[in-house]
Amino acid sequence: MSSVATAMTRRVPWRALAALAAAIPLAVMLVDGLREGLTVNPIQELTLRTGKVGLVLLVAALACTPLNALLGWRFTLSFRRDLGLYGFGYIALHLAIFALVDLGLDLDLIARTVLQKPFVIAGSAAFLLLLPLAITSTRGWQRRLGRRWKGLHRLFYIAMPLAVLHYAWLVKADLRPPLAYAVGVAVLLLLRVSAVRRLFGPRRRGVDYTART
Ligand code: HEM
């Protein structure tokens, strides 16, 4: 990126824009809810919407580091963690709507539903892998865990394929959207392999793929 462009990107309040972008879908859901515009099955509609938005935000978080490494878009690192946390927040909401609102936290019913809908297992595994990352995302935890923090945060690379598997598994008709996410996530993960990155981008040594900014 040119020095003029770099100076301009420094002036943009990226973190506030990321917060705004993440808040808009939630606001739309609230407005639609108040206007009774959530289809005839509002619980299902909210489950689908929160799942979709959560996935988009998590993929966006995954894209930040490759964008910096390949295109020099360093500004993306300033809101990478925010995107991940907002994505996790939507998925926590997605889970709460499904388990609390839809199934009334009835453990028997939840167990039966999981047997009928095995895609829920992949989603739950992704959520459980993301949970420690969300908890330890603060600077305090990063300091406390030291080198182990990076290792722990590599769980993101396992959680994302599981999240896409969850989506692909549940779709009955048009497989193209989950396939597009699968290809996107695969490319973003492959770009973390230095040999692959060198094929596509400048030889930038020492790009830390898990570092906090
Ligand atoms: C990182 C974790 C997760 C991601 C990224 C995710 C994402 C998604 C996406 C994208 C959809 C489909 C939306 C659509 O078709 O428009 C979906 C549907 C669904 N998810 Fe998840 N999900 C996750 C975790 C979970 C968990 C933990 C549960 C429950 C324990 C869950 C339960 C469901 C259910 C029941 C549906 C289908 C609703 C229906 O077809 O009626 N998901 N999820």
* Cβ of 160 below 6 Å from ligand 1: no
pLDDT digits (tens, 9 = 90+) for 89-108: 999 999 999 999 999 999 99
Whether 150 has a pLDDT exceeding 50, the answer reads yes
pLDDT digits (tens, 9 = 90+) for 26-50: 999 999 999 999 999 999 999 999 9
* Cβ of 178 below 6 Å from ligand 1: no
Computed over every residue of the chain, the mean pLDDT equals 92
* Cβ of 166 below 6 Å from ligand 1: yes
* Cβ of 113 below 6 Å from ligand 1: no
| 213 confidence band (pLDDT: 50, 70, 90) | very low
Structure tokens at 143: 């300091």
- CA of 104 relative to ligand 1 center, distance in Å: 17
* Cβ of 48 below 6 Å from ligand 1: yes
Whether 211 has a pLDDT exceeding 70, the answer reads no
Question: Got the DSSP string for the chain?
Answer: --HHHHHHHHHS-HHHHHHHHHHHHHHHHHHHHHTT-S-S-HHHHHHHHHHHHHHHHHHHHHHHHHHHHHH--GGGGGTHHHHHHHHHHHHHHHHHIIIIIITTT-HHHHHHHHHH-THHHHHHHHHHHHHHHHHTTSHHHHHHHTHHHHHHHTTHHHHHHHHHHHHHHH--S--HHHHHHHHHHHHHHHTTSHHHHHHHS---TT--SS---
- CA of 84 relative to ligand 1 center, distance in Å: 17
pTM: 0.92
pLDDT digits (tens, 9 = 90+) for 73-90: 999 999 999 999 999 999
